């Protein structure tokens, strides 16, 4: 801008000198001005020229002497320059150089320039410098036009605020702006205080010193202090034992669904009604109330085996008749697990002292006794002729029941009692869960003992080892319709169902349940998982898969914790056993008709499983 | 409180109002500590107050701690030095603020002088208002998120710069704010004596 000021000085001064000269020279000088001050478009110049006739001139560049001036009647401009220029020249005597900056408001409506107080003040104070040119405005810029506010806005855009401030001393707003920087938002102090208050909510500025520093930097009287008492509040000093007990019980109550009623399941559209009463109840006097044991099993021949302390009984579901399979040998303290072979002809009984017995169910004869384990056999699983047994010392043995040296392999992957053991239906993988909160998935291939020359192969590398559970893992279930899926459920402190992809080892889903999980089953014909629970809900729950939404829940299915469960070979009824010495049959699912036929035709491995026997009588 | 009320007393004094407000804080803080499970439920016992039963901690350490704080608050109330009291409930492990119970304290002495002396509020009405606040604190349990983790509390006092601060007992601190994006606020009732007006508010962390 200074560059545009400079060229004007001379012409504008000259213009005063030539105020009395004839029109032509004056006009040329004005045109000079035009060219020098480089008005962007010639059209604009033209307009201002033509506008001069109607007194609408000079909405353009303030630095340009108005080209219309000379076209005014000479007498008028003369009278102005002589009348006002006199008094001004006195006050501005020292100020020789000035640009032709028109400050038209100083001229009153009738054409007489008004010397305002402010002007006088500034003039006498020597404030008027080369940018101001009060004198010039009286001889170059005349009286005729009071520019609209719009013009001023335009100008203010074209030059810095500070400059404008000097150019237009009369404008009240420029006076207000005087001390401030236009790049800093001008706020009242109250506003800033409010901003600071808002900043309290900003975590980034919430450090104790920051706000005060900020307030100090902004020179603000923030008349607030945030104070806290110097000591921290004392921790609860109540009985530590009580506190610990409370801590132990807390998860039972904190779990989702722990306090809702059995009927009040808000599960959305997935909920399904199932009979909340058992279809049938059997008495099981003396059944051992122990979480780690597996005391019931349901065979493919529709026979239920139940171990009551030392004795084992077979209950035929098709006839309802009960037979005593037999008692374990004298030295064995109790039966810790029972497992039917896949065809249902043999029953394996694991004892509390570490021996595994094989019984023929039909004849109630003990066929074989396999010793070797040093502790209780709490879990067993069959895969063809291989019986796997999980021991209290954490070892899992594969027994080949056909050969004399029955122990063909040893799996060492647990440091706690193995309480959950399940073969995948195709026999390729074995899942084991232990009291050490670990879930192991083993490769199912068993070396042939004949090939290894009687040497027992020992394996301690599980295919997958999962340590997500925080309590003993008894509940394990392989998915019948998606072989890679394995579900595992933890005990009291965990109460979580995890669903694994055993091919990739990924954890696919997790579900927190209200209580200890004692067993899990995938529904054979439906995309659902059934889980049984201990204290406090003692429930049988059905969850949809994969959403894991609750489909149904039978709250307080037993009076005590539900410990054992098995699914009928038809896949519709679930048998549960509990510490209250009852066995209860629940009709959870329905067998689809097509599926049923298919199942029969497929299940003819032992000469055709009868349609009729797959029902409870 | 009702027994203390002298029949001759017409208007409540600053001192009396301060006592009421301090008392209110004591019970409000206790109620919050009980309802929000900051201390186990069996640390508390029932007392009759404001015509209802209120839980008061019987843990001596906590009692002493609260008493020390309330004594100072009382001093500040008398001088008008405190503008806000905040009870922050903080997760013990993560140290993130879960809830902020804010009590704004306004002095209304100025209005009292200028206007014609309004008929002083009967103490029973003050108590009814306090009772309403305490009941409302209890009822907030229905919408406040459950806090599974162990928590601690902290009491903050917003004071004026000029207020007397016992140097080694009260220290400048962080406002323990909840991030604005994760914070929900619920305004509670207020109560007023002739001198003070207390407005209650709770802000809690709520992640979508």
Which residues from A are below 8 Å from B183, CB to CB? 201
- pLDDT, tens digit, 9 for 90 and up, residues A316-351: 998 989 999 988 887 888 999 999 999 999 999 999
Smallest Cα–Cα separation from B140: which of B91, B198, B100, B92?
Answer: B100
Closest Cα in chain A, distance from residue B58 (Å):
10
Closest Cα in chain A, distance from residue B85 (Å):
9
- For chain B, report the end-to-end CA distance as a whole number of angstroms: 43
Structure confidence at residue A471 (pLDDT): 92
Taking an 8 Å cut-off on Cβ atoms, the answer to whether B169 and A208 are in contact is no
Separation in Å, CA B143 to CA A316, B37, B179: 54, 15, 19
Chain B contact present for A202, CB below 8 A: yes
Taking an 8 Å cut-off on Cβ atoms, the answer to whether B171 and A234 are in contact is no
Chain B contact present for A108, CB below 8 A: no
Which residues from A are below 8 Å from B152, CB to CB? 232-233, 235
ipTM above 0.85, yes or no: no
Q: Please, which pLDDT band fits residue A432 given cuts at 50, 70 and 90?
A: very high
Q: SS3 of A408, please?
A: strand
Write the class of the CATH domain A280-587: mainly beta
| CA–CA dist A372, A397 (Å, integer) | 10
Show Cβ contacts of residue B142 under 8 Å, excluding neighbours closer than 6 positions. none
Pairing type for strands A582-587 and A562-567 reads unpaired
| CA–CA dist A548, A267 (Å, integer) | 10
Q: Please, which pLDDT band fits residue A576 given cuts at 50, 70 and 90?
A: very high
> Choosing among A234, A246, A247, A252, which should be mutated to test the B contact, i.e. which has the most B CBs within 10 A?
A234
What is the 3 state secondary structure string of B146-188? CCCCCEEEEEEEEECCCCCCCCCCEEECCCCCCCHHHEEEEEE
| Residue B36, H or E segment | none
Interface of B with A in 9-48 (CB under 8 A): 39-40, 42-43
Q: Please, which pLDDT band fits residue A1 given cuts at 50, 70 and 90?
A: very low
Which residues from B are below 8 Å from A200, CB to CB? 175, 177
Q: Give the phi and the psi of residue A25 in degrees, each rounded to 5.
A: -60, -40
Of the candidates B152, B160, B169, the beta carbon closest to that of A224 is on B160
**What number of C-beta contacts closer than 8 Å exist between A and B?**
103
Q: Which CATH architecture has domain B14-112+119-205?
A: 2-Layer Sandwich (3.30)
- pLDDT, tens digit, 9 for 90 and up, residues B9-52: 456 788 888 999 999 999 999 999 999 888 888 888 888 888 88
| CA–CA dist A248, A90 (Å, integer) | 99
Closest Cα in chain B to A203:
B179
| CA–CA dist A114, A108 (Å, integer) | 6
pTM of the model: 0.46
Show Cβ contacts of residue A285 under 8 Å, excluding neighbours closer than 6 positions. A308, A581
- Angle at which helices A23-37 and A2-17 pack, to 10 degrees? 180
Structure confidence at residue A145 (pLDDT): 55
More confident residue, B41 or A360: A360
Structure confidence at residue B25 (pLDDT): 92
Q: Give the phi and the psi of residue B139 in degrees, each rounded to 5.
A: -75, -20
Structure confidence at residue B51 (pLDDT): 85
> Choosing among A220, A228, A244, which should be mutated to test the B contact, i.e. which has the most B CBs within 10 A?
A228
Of the candidates A226, A233, A238, the beta carbon closest to that of B40 is on A238
Chain A contact present for B95, CB below 8 A: no
How do the domains of chain B map onto residue ranges? 14-112+119-205
- A35: tokens are 């060219």
Q: Please, which pLDDT band fits residue A516 given cuts at 50, 70 and 90?
A: very high
Residue whose structure tokens are 């509020």: B121
Show Cβ contacts of residue A488 under 8 Å, excluding neighbours closer than 6 positions. A420, A431, A433, A439, A466, A469, A473, A475, A476, A477, A497, A498, A500, A520
How do the domains of chain A map onto residue ranges? 280-587
Smallest Cα–Cα separation from A476: which of A507, A517, A528?
Answer: A517
- pLDDT, tens digit, 9 for 90 and up, residues A472-505: 999 999 999 999 999 999 999 899 999 999 988 8
């Amino acid at each position: 801008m200074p560059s545009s000021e400079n060229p004007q000085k001379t012409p504008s001064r000259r213009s005063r000198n030539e105020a009395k000269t004839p029109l032509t020279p004056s006009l040329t000088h004005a045109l000079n001005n035009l060219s020098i001050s480089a008005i962007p478009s010639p059209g604009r110049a033209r307009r201002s020229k033509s506008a001069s006739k109607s007194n609408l001139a000079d909405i353009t560049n303030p630095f340009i002497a108005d080209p219309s001036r000379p076209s005014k009647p000479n007498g008028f401009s003369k009278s102005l320059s002589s009348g006002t220029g006199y008094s001004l020249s006195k006050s501005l005597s020292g100020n020789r150089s000035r640009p032709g900056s028109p400050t038209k408001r100083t001229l009153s409506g009738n054409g007489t320039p008004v010397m305002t107080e402010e002007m006088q003040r500034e003039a006498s104070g020597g404030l008027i410098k080369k940018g101001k040119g009060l004198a010039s405005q009286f001889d170059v810029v005349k009286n005729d036009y009071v520019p609209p506010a719009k013009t001023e806005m335009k100008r203010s855009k074209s030059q810095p605020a500070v400059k404008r401030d000097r150019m237009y001393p009369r404008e009240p707003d420029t006076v207000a702006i005087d001390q401030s920087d236009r790049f800093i938002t001008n706020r009242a102090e109250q506003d800033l205080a409010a901003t600071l208050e808002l900043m309290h909510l900003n975590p980034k500025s919430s450090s104790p010193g920051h706000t005060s520093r900020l307030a100090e930097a902004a020179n603000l009287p923030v008349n607030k202090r945030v104070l806290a008492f110097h000591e921290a509040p004392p921790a609860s000093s109540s009985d530590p034992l009580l506190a610990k007990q409370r801590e132990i019980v807390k998860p039972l109550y904190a779990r989702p669904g722990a306090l809702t009623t059995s009927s009040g399941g808000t599960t959305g559209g997935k909920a399904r009604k199932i009979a909340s009463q058992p279809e049938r109840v059997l008495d099981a006097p003396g059944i051992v109330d122990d979480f780690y044991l597996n005391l019931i099993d349901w065979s493919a021949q529709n026979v239920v085996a139940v171990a009551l302390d030392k004795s084992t009984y077979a209950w035929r579901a098709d006839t309802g008749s009960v037979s005593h399979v037999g008692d374990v040998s004298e030295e064995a303290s109790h039966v810790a697990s029972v497992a039917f072979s896949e065809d249902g002809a043999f029953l394996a009984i694991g004892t509390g002292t570490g021996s595994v017995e094989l019984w023929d169910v039909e004849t109630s004869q003990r066929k074989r006794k396999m010793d070797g384990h040093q502790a209780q056999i709490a879990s067993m699983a069959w895969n063809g002729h291989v019986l796997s047994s999980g021991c209290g010392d954490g070892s899992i043995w594969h027994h080949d029941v056909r050969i004399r040296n029955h122990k063909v392999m040893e799996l060492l992957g647990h440091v706690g009692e193995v309480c959950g053991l399940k073969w995948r239906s195709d026999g390729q993988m074995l899942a084991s869960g232990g009291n050490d909160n670990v879930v192991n998935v083993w490769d199912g291939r068993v070396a042939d003992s004949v090939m290894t020359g009687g040497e027992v192969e020992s394996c301690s590398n599980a295919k997958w080892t999962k340590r997500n559970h925080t309590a003993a893992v008894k509940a394990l279930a392989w998915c019948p319709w998606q072989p890679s899926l394995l579900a595992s459920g933890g005990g009291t402190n965990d109460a979580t169902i995890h669903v694994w992809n055993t091919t990739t080892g990924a954890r696919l889903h997790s579900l927190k349940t209200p209580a200890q999980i004692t067993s899990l089953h995938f529904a054979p014909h439906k995309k659902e998982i059934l889980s049984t629970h201990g204290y406090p809900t003692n429930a049988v729950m059905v969850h949809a898969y994969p959403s894991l939404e609750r489909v149904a829940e039978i709250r307080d299915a037993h009076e005590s914790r539900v410990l054992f469960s098995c699914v009928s070979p038809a896949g519709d009824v679930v048998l549960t056993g509990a510490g209250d010495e009852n066995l209860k049959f629940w009709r959870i699912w329905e067998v689809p008709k097509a599926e049923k036929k298919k199942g029969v035709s497929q299940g003819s491995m032992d000469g055709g499983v009868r349609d009729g026997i797959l029902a409870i009588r | 409180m009702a027994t203390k009320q002298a029949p001759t007393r017409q208007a409540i004094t600053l001192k009396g109002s301060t006592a009421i407000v301090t008392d209110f804080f004591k019970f409000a803080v206790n109620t919050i500590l009980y309802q929000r499970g900051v201390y186990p439920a069996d640390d508390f016992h029932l007392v009759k107050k404001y015509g209802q039963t209120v839980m008061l901690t019987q843990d001596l350490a906590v009692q002493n701690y609260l008493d020390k704080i309330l004594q100072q608050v009382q001093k500040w109330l008398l001088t008008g030095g405190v503008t806000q009291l905040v009870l922050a409930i903080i997760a013990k492990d993560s140290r993130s603020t879960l809830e902020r119970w804010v009590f704004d304290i306004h002095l209304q002495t100025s209005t009292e002088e200028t206007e014609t002396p309004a008929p002083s509020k009967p103490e029973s009405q003050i108590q009814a208002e306090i009772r309403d606040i305490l009941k409302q604190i209890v009822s907030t349990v229905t919408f406040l998120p459950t806090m599974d983790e162990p928590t601690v509390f902290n009491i903050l006092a917003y004071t004026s710069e000029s207020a007397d601060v016992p140097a080694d007992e009260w220290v400048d601190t962080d406002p323990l704010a909840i991030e604005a994006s994760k914070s929900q606020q619920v305004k509670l009732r207020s109560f007023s004596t002739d001198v003070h007006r207390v407005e209650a508010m709770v802000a809690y962390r709520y992640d979508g």
